[in-house]
């Protein structure tokens, strides 16, 4: 059986990485406690494996896309054509 590097993110056979809370926090450049808060409020998709929390990289990217605010600018307001 092939031994896995336990410090590297787990990749499923489909290539979808499963990230830990510290990995997600580092990626988003926010605190681990903020990620735990989002998990506790069910505001971010996650997996519970016993007491461990994991987030699929694909779910994280989809969630980020949903968090992006759409901005439209009315150029007429600024006197621009």
Residues 53 and 60: their CA atoms lie apart, in Å, by 13
Q: How confident is the model at residue 81 (pLDDT cuts 50, 70, 90)?
A: low
Q: Would you say residue 76 lies in a domain? A: no
Residues 32 and 13: their CA atoms lie apart, in Å, by 27
Per-residue pLDDT of 60-72, as tens digits, reads 999 999 998 877 7
Q: How many domains, the chain?
A: 1
Q: Would you say residue 27 lies in a domain? A: yes
Q: Would you say residue 50 lies in a domain? A: yes
Global pTM reads: 0.70
Per-residue pLDDT of 1-51, as tens digits, reads 455 555 555 566 666 899 999 999 999 999 999 999 999 999 999 999 999
Q: Would you say residue 73 lies in a domain? A: no
What is the predicted pLDDT for the residue at 68? 85
Q: CATH number of the domain that 22 lies in?
A: 1.10.10
Q: Would you say residue 35 lies in a domain? A: yes
Q: Would you say residue 54 lies in a domain? A: yes
DSSP per-residue string spanning 45-66: --EEETTEEEEEHHHHHHHHHH
Q: Would you say residue 28 lies in a domain? A: yes
Identify the domain containing residue 56 by its residue range.
10-67
């Amino acid at each position: 059986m092939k031994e896995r590097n336990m410090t590297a993110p787990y990749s499923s056979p489909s290539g979808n990485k499963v990230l830990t809370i510290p990995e997600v926090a580092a990626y988003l450049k926010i605190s681990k406690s903020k990620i735990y808060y989002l998990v506790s409020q069910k505001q971010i998709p996650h997996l519970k494996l016993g007491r461990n929390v994991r987030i699929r990289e694909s779910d994280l990217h989809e969630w980020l896309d949903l968090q992006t605010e759409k901005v439209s600018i009315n150029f007429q307001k600024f006197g621009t054509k």
